[in-house]
A and B are shown apart, each in its own frame.
Chain A
Amino acid sequence: MKKYQLNHLRELESEAIFVIREVAAQFEHPCLLFSGGKDSIVLAYLAMKAFWPAKMPFPLVHIDTGHNFEETLTYRDQLVEKFGAQLIVGSVQESIETGRVTEEKGFNASRNLLQTTTLLDTIEKHKFDAAMGGGRRDEEKARAKERFFSHRDEFGQWDPKNQRPELWNIFNGRKHMGEHFRVFPISNWTEMDVWQYILMENIEMPSLYFTHMREVFNRDGVWLYHAPFMKLKPNEKVEIKQVRCRTIGDISCTGLTLSSAETLADIISEIAATRVTERGGREDDKRSEAAMEDRKREGYF
């Protein structure tokens, strides 16, 4: 008998495409949260595939902290153009200026937490009833329990103890007015799967993921980019190092990895050999043991 068996990447791809199509079918105003990081790039690529030869029937939403790497914005605009997608930008700077949020002060000030307000405001303004994100269950222990279709109440909050059962591939997206869903089509992918898929599909990636020389400084064991708005402590000094990003977020909390990885294959072997999780370089997760769970409860990505 002929063997009908998909390999792991094709099976994950099929699952993600199924979930993305469910979102388009079940919701009136869905959107796709695009951060410019590798997970949301793969997600946008899968969404493009899911509806080809039609265009994806929802906009990409970027929550811009104002502290983004320039490369991220350039890459974003190129991708939007290539996919013929619609782009909506929610600005944290604007949330600060209109007094919706207050900028954190001090050396570890980050706009990461402030994003939650901007995100929820953007969802409300555009009446989005489902927001897809590139969250993966292997990233962090609170995420390990999240559903594909994750229900949010009218305040945008997640109640981890009262999640809807989710069986087989049947997704319940029914909701009351004012509530919305966060949907995570690549829930079951690991960091390795994401990179192997990028390699298999030959997806073009932002240069930040590959090795480059950059002005950095070391804070508590983490290499950070010395952007103009980053304040140095007296004992910290700026050096030029050969680095790459393992995750891409807001500059203030994106730890850089010392690396000479020039190609996708180099990155994959680097990850295979790495003994620290990708979030090990994220300042935002170190704040407390339950940092991610707390942020998610409040409506974070």
Chain B
Amino acid sequence: MTQFSNNSYLDMELLRFSTAGSVDDGKSTLIGRLLYDSKSIFEDQLEAVKRASIKKGTEHLNLALFTDGLRAEREQGITIDVAYRYFATPKRKFIIADTPGHIQYTRNMVTGASTANAGLVLIDARNGITEQTCRHSYISSLLKIPHLIFCINKMDLVNYSEEVYKQITETFTVFAEKLDLRDIRFVPISALFGDNVVDRSTNMPWYTGGTLLEELETVEIDHDNDFTSPRFPVQYVIRPESTEYHDYRGYAGRVAGGVFAKGDQVTVLPSGLTSTIKTIDTYTGELDEAYPPLSVTIQLTDDIDISRGDMIVKADNMPRVTQDLEVMMCWMNARPLQLNGKYIVKHTTREVRCVVKEIQYKVNVNNLEQITDDTTVRLNDIARVVIRCTKPLFVDSYKQNRITGALILIDEGTNETVGVAMVE
């Protein structure tokens, strides 16, 4: 057995993190540096970037070129869409959602943040806390990214000064009190020269914390899922109708919260009927317990009518069952949100229709102020909105559960996903 096929390599944790920053922050350079220094770049990719760097006449190997994807992006030198990158160290496997940071790409930032365990926010050491830092922090708190790492970048341009670093972290800590952030860390780095990215910097002996990669490798993520409130949205009903499994009726889905065990008493929504978990099945065998984010098939002891969009829960810990929702909405479409407009709502595996009853205010994402005089919700706007659904949804606050607290709005005419919302 070799190191990559022994048990520890088959048994790594997966950490998803998003990055936000603009062209000038050196975000692409940072990602290139992480991939390069962790030896995740292959020779043919390196050769291609070397050729392109020479062609563009850059002084250093242009690490940012590793992450340019679509032709339009290479031509314009910008990132338009969320790009996903992958690398692994002996400790963890990483998925990076690389998002553009400019205000006109708020929707992409929101997309990248939606599945992240950790968020990387870049701060240019020369500029300190800017509107953009504020925006990225707000979006991270809105999307409830459990862990945030602020990279104070370009330390090489401020003589690796501890004073500069301290001032930025102190200013930010004061600002962060306005936000709901659970876990914040700071790392002074130079993405260009690699200080404190993968390797410890010799230029900043005053910094005693971990390098960026060390932080990413050690941040504790086993409590990021909701393990307290059992939620099992039914995705698909499995009925083999074969001789061997003649009476088999299983409810397939992915656990969205809490822990379900064989023998547990459960309640099914919306019917309210109760039953007991007979088995938790997978192809490789029965499980004693299922927890997020496992995909399993549950069999109940009673033959009750359950279909896609129903939810299996426990009577002592029920979600809210409601047709009326107050949500924070991020608008993703060029056509503005229509007050009194009707949309399709997708929430877990459930699909209903809704009408937009009220737009309470918009948020200025640069300074967190509420805007009440202009409530037209346009592309990239974030607003507090009230909707009423045609049928009840089974929801939790987004703060409690990022799956049962999230929903999307679809335009009935174009079928596009036009809005995404978090239940308050």
The residues of A with any CB-CB pair to B shorter than 8 Å are 3-15, 17-18, 21-22, 24-25, 48-55, 137-138, 141-142, 144-145, 160-161, 163-170, 172, 174-176, 187-188, 190, 192-193, 196, 199-200, 264-266, 268-269, 271-272, 274-277, 280, 289-290, 293
Q: Are B283 and A166 in contact (CB under 8 A)?
A: no
A276 to B236, CA, bound (A): 41
Within the complex, what minimum Cβ distance (angstroms) separates B244 from chain A? 7
Asked if B70 is an interface residue, CB under 8 A from chain A, the answer is yes
**Inside 8 A of B23's CB, which chain A residues have their CB?**
none
In angstroms, Cα B239 to Cα A55, docked, is: 9
Q: Is the CB of B5 within 8 A of A160?
A: no
Interface size on B, residues (CB 8 A): 83
Q: Which residues of A contact B85 (CB under 8 A)?
A: 138, 144
Counting CB contacts under 8 A, is B240 at the interface?
A: yes
New A-B pairs, 9, CB < 8 Å, besides A50-B252, A192-B4: A4-B227, A25-B349, A53-B250, A137-B84, A145-B82, A164-B416, A170-B347, A196-B5, A290-B71
- How distant is the Cα of A137 from the Cα of B82 in the complex, in angstroms? 12
Least Cβ–Cβ distance between B61 and chain A, in angstroms: 16
A18 CB to nearest chain B CB (Å): 5
**Interface flag for B406 (CB, 8 Å):** yes
CB of A4 within 8 A of CB of B222, answer: yes
- Is B283 a contact of A49 with CB atoms below 8 Å? yes
Which residues from 60 to 103 on chain B have a C-beta closer than 8 Å to any C-beta of chain A? 68-72, 74, 80-86, 88, 92-93, 95
Q: Contact partner of B308 among A25, A142, A163, A293, CB < 8 A?
A: A25
Q: Is the CB of B86 within 8 A of A138?
A: yes
- Cβ–Cβ contact B5 & A52, under 8 A: no
The 7 closest A-B pairs by CB, nearest first: A269-B2, A8-B14, A54-B240, A174-B415, A17-B295, A167-B114, A49-B283
With an 8 A cutoff between CB atoms, is B323 at the interface?
Answer: no
Give chain A residues whose Cβ lies under 8 Å from the Cβ of B189.
none
Nearest chain B CB to A127's CB is how many angstroms away?
A: 18
User: Are B10 and A199 in contact, with the CB atoms below 8 A?
Assistant: yes
Contact A164 B417 (CB under 8 A): yes
Q: B245's closest neighbor in chain A, by CB?
A: A53
Shortest Cβ gap from B169 to chain A (Å): 31
Given known A8-B93, A53-B242, A269-B3, contact A190–B86 (CB-CB < 8 A): yes
- Which of A11, A145, A165 lies in contact with B332, CB distance below 8 A? A165
Given known contacts A7-B10, A49-B283, A276-B44, A163 and B81 CB-to-CB distance under 8 angstroms: yes
Q: B408: CB under 8 A from chain A?
A: yes
Instruction: State whether A192 touches B88 (Cβ < 8 A).
Output: yes
Known: A14-B295, A164-B417. A193 touches B93 (CB 8 A): yes
Please give the distance in Å from B346's CB to the nearest CB on chain A: 5
The answer, among B80, B248, B282, for a CB contact under 8 Å with A49, is B282
Closest to A263 in B: B5
Taking CB atoms, residues of chain A closer than 8 Å to B225 are 4
Chain B positions within 8 Å of A22 at CB level: 235, 349
B33 within 8 A of A: no
- Residues 17-59 of B at the A interface (beta carbon under 8 Å): 42-45
* B419 → chain A closest CB, angstroms: 9
The answer on a CB contact under 8 Å between A137 and B44 is no
Q: Is the beta-carbon distance between A188 and B95 smaller than 8 angstroms?
A: yes
Candidates B10, B45, B83, B346; contact of A145 at CB < 8 Å: B83
Complex CA distance for A7 and B236, rounded to whole angstroms: 25
Bound CA span A266–B5, Å: 9
Interface positions, chain B 102-120, Cβ under 8 Å from A, are 107, 110-111, 114-115
B374-424 contacts to A (CB < 8 Å): 402-403, 406-408, 410, 415-417, 420
Given the complex of chains A and B, what is the CA–CA distance between A193 and B92 in angstroms?
12
* A52 partner residues in chain B, CB cutoff 8 A: 238, 281-283, 297
Knowing A145-B70, A168-B403, A199-B10, say if A277 contacts B45 (CB, 8 Å).
Answer: yes
A sample of 20 inter-chain contacts (CB < 8 A) reads A5-B13, A13-B295, A14-B254, A14-B293, A52-B283, A52-B297, A53-B250, A54-B238, A54-B245, A144-B69, A144-B84, A167-B408, A172-B410, A188-B95, A264-B5, A265-B2, A266-B2, A268-B2, A276-B42, A289-B74
Considering residues A50, A145, A165, A274, which has the most beta carbons from chain B within 10 angstroms of its beta carbon? A165
Q: Among B10, B84, B406, which residue has its beta carbon within 8 angstroms of that of A9?
A: B10
Query: Which residues of B, 263-280, contact A by the 8 Å Cβ criterion?
Result: none
Are B14 and A25 closer than 8 Å at their CB atoms?
no
B174 interface residue per 8 A CB criterion: no
B152 at the interface (CB under 8 A from A): no
- Bound-state CA distance A54–B281 (Å) is 12
A7-B11, A53-B248 known; A167 vs B293 contact (CB < 8 Å) = no
Residues of the A chain whose Cβ atoms lie less than 8 Å from the Cβ of B236:
21, 24-25, 51
Interface mask (B229-267 → A, CB under 8 Å = 1, otherwise 0): 000000110111110110010101110000100000000
